[in-house]
Amino acid sequence: MPYKILHFDDCQMTKLGFKQITSDYSHIELASNYKGNNNEYILSSLTNHNPDILVINLDTISNDIVSNILTHVTCSYRKIRTVLVSNSISKHVFESFFAQGVLGFLYLNSKKQDIIDCIKKVCRQETYISNEFREKFRKDQNTDNFIKDGFKILTPKELKVIELIILGKTSNEIAKILHNSKRTIETHRQHIAEKFDILGQGRLTLFLIKRKALIIELLNNYRVIEQSNK
């Protein structure tokens, strides 16, 4: 029996490419090749086609919809295995969807054989992660460790400044909240940037926002430690 695949993707080029690749293999049947960033539409298609594998392009369908679909699959379609396709996926998003039961994480521009290998592994209920993602996660982990080390040498005032930057506050607004001058806040920002090896205060905000989930986690850990020491 061939593996039946239901593929959701709003990118016409990707859909055509996936269709061409799977058509070369007799043991793979592409049940449908839908367009639709719509939760109810995808769920009804699962019922109509009853696929073995659900393939979703994470770059064209929102994370919230994908998360809802995965919850439904876990509850009502236990035999369906899921593969997420993306050009880039963060370690945080990967961990979240992996916890929801996703087995395949496929790089968008994967070679034909890599796509077939992914499908075969997932059908055997094995995990497949493209090498491109593995390398990215390794770099992300190195960055995470670097940030954690940097937090150890931040002062309480610098931690407060970071918290306010994460909340979207400007230097002027932070100065008013902390009852300091703008120059003092900019000095704090400069010291924070130096501790994270960032050139210029302008890049500090982007650096922190891109790693917002980790920064918030570290700030919360600091509060717990601070409370326990009182």
Domains of the chain by residue range: 3-132, 142-228
| Model-wide pTM > 0.75 | no
pLDDT tens-digit readout, 4-32: 888 887 776 677 777 777 777 777 777 76
Q: What is the pLDDT of residue 75?
A: 86
What does the pLDDT look like over 39-76, one tens digit per residue? 777 888 888 888 889 999 888 888 888 899 899 888 88
The confidence band for 225, taking pLDDT boundaries of 50, 70 and 90, is low
C-alpha 230/C-alpha 218 separation (Å) is 19
CATH (residue range 142-228): 3.40.50.2300
pLDDT reading at 170 higher than 60: yes
Which CATH number is associated with domain 3-132? 3.40.50.2300
Q: Which residues pair with 34 in a beta bridge?
A: 8
Residue 14 structure tokens:
């990707």
Helix, strand, coil distribution of the chain in percent, nearest 5: 60, 15, 25
Tens of pLDDT, residues 129-160: 999 999 888 888 888 888 888 888 999 999 99
3-132 and 142-228 agree in CATH topology: yes
Contact 43, 69 (CB under 8 A): yes
Which candidate, 22, 13, 3, places its Cα nearest to that of 113?
22
- pLDDT, position 184: 94
Q: What is the pLDDT of residue 78?
A: 82
Q: pLDDT at position 182, please?
A: 93
